[in-house]
Structure 1
């Protein structure tokens, strides 16, 4: 047996691992589902987070199965929703977040776990490691690397471009799926406004996915309209497809509430989604 067969995520483990299902939630949220365990990242159910500016349906998270954990990338209210966390952890469970922040309010029953960069967090059937990210305003933020069910997932929160992609790719890549923000938003809330994107643009998301060695990129964190001080790039999905042409990474667009097709390949259009054109 080769050494690769013995490594986490290798063929021997993948053949024996329980099935991991992944659901996209509203905005930047996802649900990772094993037969007896659930892990959420950045779940959002609060309609006041974006109001009418976000058309995404808000997907309930109170129906988790088995031991449940919640990860958040940072404390902004569209990524740390205390109500969503309380719903998900209604029977108790771990709330893991970047060391150096204090999510508030902390839902009753949540076991707080501040998580230093690069330190794996053992969460039952999941292993989650916070890795560097860059917030558009310089606030503390991480991305998460999650291993479970023989697969390795990257979740980028709403990171902007930074220089740690290569290090993350070397340490943890390749990835089965990278969930990356794509809307290249420019903020006007703090003055003077920079006029620069504070979130990955579609081109940058494809570049990050390639450096990470991601087989598939599922876009998140897009779809806000009608706000004067928050401007997305025009038609981010179309720009993402264009940027991905000629690259090996598959683009799978999953609507909120939809489930990722893990077998999607470049050029495929899995049921209920779209892919490269």
Structure 2
């Protein structure tokens, strides 16, 4: 199995000549255009299997993790987009998922809403939707992916929670844990009053999550991204903070550069 970092939370996983992508992002600017949060995102790159990817996995329907245009370009004709099931609710509750959801429909991409703990097989990949916890209460999953006897789990931009042991029991141990590390504090208009706690795994949380999941290796992602004062506040030196936090752990830390792949 080969894992390639595509920028932000985007990953391409290749096994037996086939590829899936997770949280693919194809537009480094404009994801939040027309809002007070409009800001450039980090550099991204395209999947190596552009146009022939057999599945697109989205941990949640926020537009920096679900980019319908990028998925349409990447996927093989007829390939499905997998994402978590809706929680229901009104437009206020779903403010941050409505646009990505509508864009998936506009591109006429085949879709499959996965229930928590649901497992499916696509090509050589066995894919499971593992419970995660989103900072604003939107549906989110981790994706556990197995192929050729190797197992990885992609943590999206989940907050710290209590599913780690159950996930490790069902789908682990994991050869690689792909983990967010930036831990921003967020203040969004539809989620008031705001919380000062990390809205996704920060360096310390990520290092611990990888341990609890039984990681053989941890691959940091979801860092060096956007910062919007008062709305999405991050701390500097995110990668250095994670390397320090993981220094005493028994797992290996792999830090591929943009577009670089590692063999699991």
Shift of 1:99: 1.6
| CA displacement 1:103-154 (0-9 Å, x = unmatched) | 3222646321111111111111111100110000111111110001221010
Partner of 2:195: 194
Report the Cα distance in structure 2 between the residues aligned to 1:36 and 1:255, rounded to whole angstroms: 22
Partner of 1:39: 20
| CA displacement 1:227-256 (0-9 Å, x = unmatched) | 111111331111111111221011111222
Report the Cα distance in structure 2 between the residues aligned to 1:207 and 1:84, rounded to whole angstroms: 32
Runs of 4+ in structure 1 over 6 Å off: none
- Higher RCO structure (Cα 8 Å, ≥6 apart): 2
Q: Indicate how the Cα distance of structure 1 residues 149 and 66 shifts in structure 2: closer, same or farther if over 3 A, else same.
A: farther
Partner of 2:206: 205
Partner of 2:67: 81
- Paired residue secondary structure (1:160): coil
Shift of 1:192: 2.3
Count of equivalent residues? 242
Report the Cα distance in structure 2 between the residues aligned to 1:108 and 1:223, rounded to whole angstroms: 29
Task: Identify which range, 26-35 or 98-107, moves more after superposition.
Answer: 98-107
Partner of 2:35: none
Partner of 2:242: 240
Q: What pairs up with 1:1-277 in 2 under 5 angstroms? A: 20-46=1-27, 47-49=29-31, 53-54=40-41, 56-61=42-47, 63-64=49-50, 66=52, 68-100=54-86, 103-106=101-104, 108=107, 110-190=109-189, 191-228=192-229, 229-262=231-264
Task: Identify which range, 101-110 or 185-194, moves more after superposition.
Answer: 101-110
Task: Identify which range, 141-150 or 65-74, moves more after superposition.
Answer: 65-74
Whether contact under 8 Å (1:36, 1:66) holds in the other structure is no
Q: Indicate how the Cα distance of structure 1 residues 62 and 174 shifts in structure 2: closer, same or farther if over 3 A, else same.
A: closer
Give structure 1 stretches of 5+ with no counterpart. Answer: 1-19, 263-277
- CA-based RMSD: 2.0
| CA displacement 1:42-87 (0-9 Å, x = unmatched) | 0000231267543x32212384375611010000000011111111
Report the Cα distance in structure 2 between the residues aligned to 1:89 and 1:224, rounded to whole angstroms: 25
Whether contact under 8 Å (2:12, 2:22) holds in the other structure is yes
Report the Cα distance in structure 2 between the residues aligned to 1:37 and 1:111, rounded to whole angstroms: 19
- Paired residue secondary structure (1:214): coil
- TM-score, normalised to structure 1, is 0.81
Partner of 1:272: none
Report the Cα distance in structure 1 between the residues aligned to 2:120 and 2:164, rounded to whole angstroms: 20
Report the Cα distance in structure 2 between the residues aligned to 1:207 and 1:63, rounded to whole angstroms: 33
